[in-house]
Structure 1
Amino acid sequence: LGFEYVWSAWCGTDECSSKSSISSNSVSVLHYGLDNMFIFREINLANIVQIACGSNHSLALESNGVLHAWGLNDHGQLGIGTRESLIRPTTVNKLIGIPICQLAAGASHSLVLTPSGTVFGWGKNRFGQIGQNEQRDILYPSLVKLLRTQKVIRLACGEDFSVAITATGGLFTFGAGTYGQLGHGNQNNELFPKQVMELMGSVVLDVACGRCHTLAITENKLYAFGLNTSGQLGLPNVKHSTSIPLPVPIEKQPRKVFAGADFSFVLCSERNGDNDGDDNKAITLPSFPVKHLSLNFVRHLINEEPKHLYDFVETVMTSLCCLNGSFLQSGNDRFGVTERHSCINMDEAMETFLLLSDYCTAHPKVESMMVRSIEVSLIPSLRSSLIDIEFARVYLILPWCHIFSFSKYYRNIVVPFTLCLSDQTATTWEFLESWWSSLPVRHLNRILKVFKQVACFFIDNLVNERGWHCQNMNSLPITAIKSALDVLSHLNKVNVKVRKIPVSSFYIDDLEKKINLRDDFLQTMNEDKQCSNRFLFCHYPFILNAVAKSILFQVNVAVEMVIAQVREYFFISVSRDNIIEDTFKHLIVATPYDLKRPLKVQFVGEDADDLGGLKKEFFMLVFQEVFNPKYGMFVEYEESRYTWFAHFNFEEPHTYEYIGILCGMTIYNNVIAALPFPLALYKKLLNEPVTLEDLKELSPTEGR
């Protein structure tokens, strides 16, 4: 090894492994036929931050989060989807995008842990050692579901069993229990992780597994259980094995425990604890050895040599693993990724990228590097299959990168990112929508701004170049607009529930001047189910402002009037002296088709033909009467001049329905009517909550 410093090493049954690998000439973990040291050229050994070895296979983690595996693969312990053994390191592609903080390997199975406490396992599962419900080999990394909410902080593997320590000091074991190595008081196998009840009153700080035995350190004791035929438990009174954790007689304070196949040793300090800090510092590995962004570290790098920040940011921005492991929340909030909890500190992400943005202004080479890294490495990795929801964190984090604000990067970075996001599965979108719903409004506004700008940019470009209808509907600009609006559609869905962003913020102003919305709407009405995936702006009504919606409403009214024209008009004849009663008589017998026809009004005793003027006069007179206090249906508030429903009246409920029909008829007939209702009425029609602010609008004195 020359002058290399090795600070992490694991041993398999017949071989040792560090930053270089030594073979015992078995079915080579390292290389067939080698009897001495062999340094791999496939990976940069200087970048290896953690390793683990099984009986005949090895795992190595790079600082960019990439996991490599090689060796015997008869049970799928390499996690590459086949049983083909490999003599050289290969990437475990299924874990691309998953941040890994710890590796563990059993005889023929492998486990990895993320900083958020998520555990994945693969390989031999005959005894349940990877926590899956099928007792068969698992060829790909698979989520250990029962550990997801347990806040796992450390893993260890025996020959055919596995253990996990939680942040609360709990110890879970699963797999083969033939010699009591699971610590459950029996020799049963456990297909799923099960907490060791005997240690529930203690806080487990460290654990190690031999071939068939387990050692666990608590606050001031060392416990051992499992096979003891070679004295590996350190329990002189146990001849063969024990299935119950027993304290090992030891005078000093145990600090760290290690286990080989059939032997054990423990690192201790004096009971007075004087050396606690030094001992822990000497043996504790970084909690997350993979490079990742954090606000404090970026601040530190900015004050160092520019090359340090350049190299660090380049590694992170080329690696989905690094980015998804960045900006984790502190303490217990970093654990347990769920629909409601992404474990990401979004404010830290925002501040870090703002800091990098300022730095890039003074150091344009850093921005060029970030652009190249995202375009060449990060974006292509987004097309990998999503093994777990931790993969999707990038869709929360990356929109805060300042590069997403510049139109010059839309085509090569922002649009490909948007396409990957819009193509996510329904399950992934459920998580993303749930994560969005819990974000403060500043982060929702950022998401809205990024994707709305993309849509507006390409709409303007297409209109300015050749006009909208000359465009190929399968072109990149159209695809970019559609994918951006698809993302905004999900954001709008969230906003309808949480009501954090004004609906007007979604509007694309002057769209009716750029696009023929009438044709777009007619195509929407005429499309059949088989063509429902065709891109039309009317599929995204939340981007249409009041002007655009009024245009579409007029088109819709005209179409419905044509459809409803069994007779040309809906005629009503009313007396000026009895206009309310006469009108209601017509409405009682009218059909829905009648109400959608153009209205013609005749006043009793008058010969004038209604060319539009009588219709307008009719609605004016009707609403004057409706709001007349003599009917007692509505009350006017003098302070605001708004009208509201009377608390007590003697009208039938259907009377209010007729008034609503009259309101609809004014819109269908393009008549403007004065309806002095406050905003609260329209909120109730849209099932939106009414607040004290609405009361202040109606009655300022009562509202205060």
Structure 2
Amino acid sequence: MLCYWGAQVRDGFGLVQPDNVKHGNSGIRSVCPKLAVQDMSAGRSFSGFIRDGKVWVLRMRSEEYDRDGKLKQLQLQKDRTRLMVCGGDGMVILSDTGKVLTTDKPTVDKPIVCRPVDGLVNRQVIQIACGDHHSMALTNDGQLFVWGENSHGQLGLKKDHPPSLSAQHVQSLSGIPVAQISAGGDHSFVLSLSGVVFGWGKNSAGQLGLGDTTDRHIPTIVNSLHRKKTMSISCGGEHTATLSKGGAVFTFGSGSFGQLGHNSFEDEHHPRVVAELWGSKVSQVTCGRHHTLALVASSKLIYSFGCGLQGQLGNGEMINKSVPFPVDLPTECNDEYMIEKVIAGENHSFALFFKESGNESKPNPSRGILTLDDRMIDQWSENKAWRVVKKEINKVFSSAASLNGSFLKTSCDEHYQTSAEHCGLDFDLIKTSFTQLSKNEKAISEVVKVVEQTLLPSLNENPTGVESLRVYLLLPELIRRLHKKQRPVLTEALASKLLQLNSDARKVLEMYWSKLPDDWLKGLVKLFRHASANLIGRVAANDVNWDIMARLTFVQIIQMIYQVCRSANRNITKSNFIINEVNDLLDVLETTNDDVNKNWQWFNLTGQIQAVMAQRDYYNAILKNLASLPCVFNLEAKCSYMKNRVWQGSFQLILRRTALLEDSFSQLRRATSQHLREFWLSVFYTEDMRKTDVNKRDFFYNVFEELCAPESQLFMYNDKQTMSWFPTKLRVEKEKYFLFGILCGLAFNNNSVVHLPFPLALFKKLLNVKPCLEDLIELDPGLGKSLRCILDYSDGVEDMYMYFTIEWDGTVVELDPAEPGKEVTKYNRTEFVDKYVDYILNKSVEEVFEEFKKGFFKACDKCIVEMFEPEELRGVLVGNEEYDWDILKQNTTYEGSFYAEHPTIISFWEVFDELTPNEKKAFLLFLTGFEKVPILGMSAVKMRVRPPISFTQDHLPEALTCHALLDLPVYQNKETLKAKLIEAVNHKRGFWEE
């Protein structure tokens, strides 16, 4: 049964004879045609009815045509009609096979002519929508097409895009899993499967719900409807209504006729719930030109509001209503029928009823896009009807929208919570499904082909909406389950697409990564690390083409994930990211450098020098690229990279031993960044002018001992004088901190371990890592532990009478200047401690530290420094105190006439074992020029021992520190050896003589 009410129209629409039309109260009429109405639509120019799969159309009266036309059946092709929608100018028809036909603007003297829509041929359309002057179509693979006028941007293509008679693809929505489309007067809406609402087009009355009246030319998310569990949308002439899962109705836009139902005739620019319908469990809402209908199917009630001047509200009054009011339906409607659908037209309203027995044809529900699910995968696994299976695979895996709409976490409606923090996917379901799919070799091979050739090339680097990013979570899990031979190409293509994403999309994806289950996150790292390791290993084996630089995308992804894990404090160790093949590449570079240095003349004579130098530059370029992605380097590789850099020449300091600071500062002031960073430091003393690394290590040892001594007044010290920090009040020229920074940078650049008694906070600040309370505890244990007690105190801290006022370095400071004298309470104690730490380690020393930092990075490349973690950077500059003397002995080699069992060597180690701990440290300084152990541990100290070419019993042992080479005379007895060794270590320390 069909009920209708509103403006005057041909009695019964021609569906039945006029005397078979039943007239009820309030102008509501009903008809029960023999050939039942399956579905219908009403627009400004036409009303259309689907009966037995065929379309019947009635031309509506208008200003140009003062009476209704006759109901006529459209002569279409043999396909049955599934859906038909009427708009302002015409109508759009959808057949059961997915074909789309449209009519031109009607004229009085011409028959209705239908034509196929250009651009939709061979596309499987599942939904259609029609506005005043534009139309929309959704295909089963989730692609949205539009055509018609674009005066207000209603096509959603771009600003000033011309009107089009052929269907145009809205590419910005290509990755969105669309659930429904809707077209209004000159505006358009799309609803995603997770309830995200996109609107565009005319916005003169706020009908887009964006809080303003500015037209939009591209799809824009209606943030006000976020997480409202929107189930459907309907667009009117200049207003819009949405329906949430719980039955709540939101309206916005023009309210001049009361069509928003807010007991007002004002416009609304934001979605606002229709309070009068709250709790009614509305099951459908539909908008006409200036009125709205809401169906509560469970109660067999229809509510109407808005323009009623032509009776379209069905309440017996020809007035406008601004609040919902029940439609006065015929009594038999409640007794025998269920309301299946309500339709609001230009000035009419309709309701389709079907008997509860279900014997009559009911409206076809709107179909959804094709998505991947267990049922489909199970069917594929049966290996039946391969042609059908292949077609489905191509449909699903060529469409980002289809994949993004698959595997939603529907339990507790979690997918409706989709946001920049929540992806809405069911990870267990994905895992199970892809595991099952990977067992079917024929199907998975087809999937690989489709993903590589169609899906990945189609991905949009500027996606609209976060749902578009789900595909980047799905594909790695799919690739992980492929055979090893199938992975590399897809992994590389995926990495490339990830890096092409705009910054906003990448941030959202990184947020999704940060919340992945542990096994997924580790699997993601493993996928890209294996691909990277394989590629770098092939480079080291000289087994790849020279386009390697463009193919290191895997490593960039690993670095992105590493940063995510660090920021989110994920339980995934650094070892998961390290690529040991980088060490192989460094070994190749070191070998190449050695070959160039040792065989330069031979390469030059044989004409091979250009090829060898090109190969060296090639490896250097690759490593330089990798160095910007330091998470893949282990500590040994980082140090090796620093050691094997190619230097442009030598930067010389000519100094007097009696005026190290004065002379070095004078020359460093004039030095350029290029000389400091790219040239190897050479130190000459005016006393002998010999070029030797001994001089350089002597220089660093002495200059840092002098600068970091309390007498220098450069720094403040803790109570035990073991740790220093920058002062809040300058006692020396500010420039000295800049020069001190240059010296630290030079030491780093030249692989020199120096005396730098600073807490880890210094190295964190150089790497832009925020210092914490633990760093303050290291600097000042007493103060730091007191602050820790404040945080850990179980009771309130009010009785301690503490305030946000502190004294540091003789200065009283308000930690919260906006509220002087603020008391510390149990509620703000964390804020108090944070501000305390921040003041001491950051704010109080900001000016001085920035001078130091500026000098430090003048002398060394920031990108190389940033390869290291704060702990590692401190280790490189300061070394450590893990003195394992057994390792030193094991790593020692012997030259000349010496060997392990030589009597002098046996005596030497006996003497060494008898030394005190401080004497052993002094020996290390004597041997290497460093007091502490290098960051790589004692195994990095490879001592070589040889007898001098000529010597007497009066000669002292000598050390060439740059090579850890000990010249040990053959003494007559152990006692002489011990005395001479201690004298050498304690007196000259071996620095000034080779």
- Using the size of structure 2 for normalisation, the TM-score is 0.53
Q: What's the offset of the Cα at 1:200?
A: 1.5
CA distance in 2 between counterparts of 1:134 and 1:247 reads 32
CA apart distance, 1:119: 1.0
User: Which residue of 2 is the match for residue 503 of structure 1?
Assistant: 574
Structure 2 counterparts to residues 68-107 of structure 1, below 5 A:
68-81=145-158, 82-107=160-185
One-letter amino acid matched to 1:667 = P
Structure 2 unaligned spans of 5+: 1-75, 95-99, 594-619, 646-679, 682-692, 706-718, 726-739, 745-753, 757-876, 884-907, 922-929, 941-994
1:405-416 equivalence runs, <5 A: 405-406=482-483, 408-409=485-486, 412-416=489-493
CA shift at 1:307, angstroms?
A: 2.4
Question: How far, CA to CA, are the matches of 1:156 and 1:23 in structure 2?
Answer: 22
Structure 2 match to 1:605: none
Distance in 1, matches of 2:878 and 2:321, equals: 88
Superposed counterparts of 1:239-638, under 5 Å: 239-250=318-329, 251=331, 252=334, 253-268=338-353, 274-275=356-357, 282-286=363-367, 289-303=368-382, 304-331=384-411, 332-359=413-440, 361=441, 363=442, 366-402=443-479, 405-406=482-483, 408-409=485-486, 412-465=489-542, 475=547, 477-481=548-552, 483-496=553-566, 497-516=568-587, 535-545=624-634, 547-548=636-637, 551=640, 565-566=698-699, 593-594=754-755, 620=917
The AA in structure 2 aligned to 1:327 is F
Give the structure 1 partner of residue 760 of structure 2: none
Does the CA-based 8 Å contact 1:561-1:597 persist in structure 2?
A: no
Q: CA 1:269 to 1:458, structure 2 compared with 1: closer, same or farther past 3 Å?
A: same
Match of residue 217 from structure 1: 295
Deviation per CA, 1:566-603, whole angstroms, max 9, x where unpaired? 2666999xxxxxxxxxxx9997899985456999x9xx
Once residues 916 and 82 of structure 2 are traced to their aligned partners in structure 1, the CA distance between those partners, rounded to angstroms, is 86
Q: Residues 459 and 255 (structure 1 numbering): CA distance in 2 closer, same or farther, change over 3 Å?
A: same
What is the DSSP-based 3-state SS (H/G/I as helix, E as strand, rest coil) of the residue aligned with 2:83? coil
Indicate the structure (1 or 2) with the bigger Cα radius of gyration.
Answer: 2
| Deviation at residue 309 of structure 1 after TM alignment | 1.9
Q: Distance in 2 between matches of 1:203 and 1:375?
A: 46
TM-aligned CA distance change 1:568 to 1:171, over 3 Å: closer
Corresponding letter in the other structure for 1:312: E
Q: Percent same amino acid at aligned positions?
A: 27
* Cα deviation 1:481-519 (Å, max 9, x = unaligned): 2x2122112222233334333332222124312335988
Contact 1:216 1:223 in 2 (8 A): yes
Larger mean CA deviation between 45-54 and 381-390 belongs to 381-390
The Cα shift of 1:136 comes to: 3.0
Kindly state the Cα deviation for residue 621 of structure 1 after the two structures are TM-superposed. Answer: 5.7
Cα displacement (A) at 1:145: 1.4
Query: Deviation at 1:385?
Result: 2.3
How far does the alpha carbon of each residue in 1:124-151 deviate from its partner, in whole angstroms, 9 at most, with x for none? 1111111234423221111111112211
- Structure-2 residue corresponding to 1:192: 270
2:286 paired residue number: 208
Question: Equivalents in 1 of 2:89, 2:723: separation in Å?
Answer: 92
Question: Which digits, 9 at most, give the CA deviation of each residue in 1:296-344, with x for residues without a partner?
Answer: 3321343352222211111111112212111111141121321221111
| 1:190 Cα deviation from its structure 2 partner | 1.1
Aligned position for 2:598:
none
Whole-angstrom distance in 2 between the partners of 1:509 and 1:568: 34
Partner of 1:53: 130
Rounded to whole Å, the distance in 2 between the matches of 1:141 and 1:534 is 43
- Give the AA of the match of 2:627: C
Q: Secondary structure at the match of 2:932?
A: helix
Map Cα deviations across residues 134-175 of structure 1 (whole Å, 9 max, x no partner).
423221111111112211110001111111011121111111
| Cα deviation digits, residues 31-57 of structure 1 (max 9, x gap) | xx9951112353236611000000121
Contact residue 586 and residue 640 of structure 2 kept, 8 A: no
**1:417, distance to aligned residue in structure 2 (A):** 1.6
Instruction: Give the Cα separation in 1 of the matches to 2:528 and 2:450.
Output: 21
Q: Which runs of 5+ in 1 are unaligned?
A: 28-32, 523-530, 573-583, 602-610, 625-662, 674-704
Classify the secondary structure of the residue corresponding to 1:204: coil
User: Quick check: 2:537–2:584 contact (8 Å CA) kept in 1?
Assistant: no
The one-letter code matched in structure 2 to 1:566 is F
The 1-side partners of 2:916 and 2:437 are apart by 62
Per-residue Cα deviation, 1:386-417 (whole angstroms, up to 9, x for no partner): 12221111110111224874564566532122
Deviation at 1:185, TM superposition (A): 0.6
Tell me, yes or no, if the aligned pair for 1:454 and 1:480 is still in contact at 8 Å. Answer: no
Is it true that 1:122 corresponds to 2:200 in the alignment? yes
Structure 1 residues 586 and 225 mapped into 2: Cα distance closer, same or farther (>3 Å)? closer
Identify the residue that residue 183 of structure 1 maps to in structure 2: 261
SS at match of 2:322: strand
Task: Quote the Cα distance in structure 2 between the aligned partners of 1:517 and 1:618.
Answer: 40
Deviations 1:247-276 (A, max 9, x none): 122342533211221111113356xxx54x
- Deviation track 1:529-581 (CA, whole Å, cap 9, x = no partner) reads xx99995333333323354356568889x999987752666999xxxxxxxxx
Greater CA drift, 131-140 or 386-395: 131-140
Note if contact 2:394-2:447 (Cα within 8 Å) is conserved in structure 1: yes
Q: Distance in 1 between matches of 2:472 and 2:537?
A: 26
SS in 2 for 1:156: strand
Task: Answer with 380-389 or 53-62: which moved more.
Answer: 380-389
Q: Indicate if the aligned counterparts of 1:118 and 1:336 stay in contact, CA closer than 8 A.
A: no
Identify if the C-alpha distance between structure 1 residues 550 and 598 changes in structure 2 by more than 3 Å, giving closer, same or farther.
closer
Contact 2:180–2:192, Cα closer than 8 Å, also in 1: yes
Distance of aligned partners of 1:547 and 1:486 in 2 relative to their CA distance in 1, 3 Å threshold: same
Alignment check: 8 A CA contact 2:210 2:270 kept: yes
Kept after mapping to 1: 8 A contact 2:175/2:468: yes
Change in Cα spacing, 1:466 to 1:315, as seen in structure 2 (3 Å) is closer
The 3-state SS of whatever aligns with 2:422 is coil
Name the SS for the 1:116 alignment partner: coil
Give the CA deviation at 1:478: 2.4
Q: Deviations over 1:626-658 (max 9, x none)?
A: xxxxxxxxxxxxxxxxxxxxxxxxxxxxxxxxx
Q: Is the 8 A contact 2:308 2:320 kept in 1?
A: yes
- Preserved contact between residue 414 and residue 424 of structure 2 (Cα < 8 Å): yes
Give 1:198 deviation, angstroms. 1.3
Measured in 2, the distance between the counterparts of 1:567 and 1:500 equals: 40
Paired AA for residue 181 in structure 1: Q
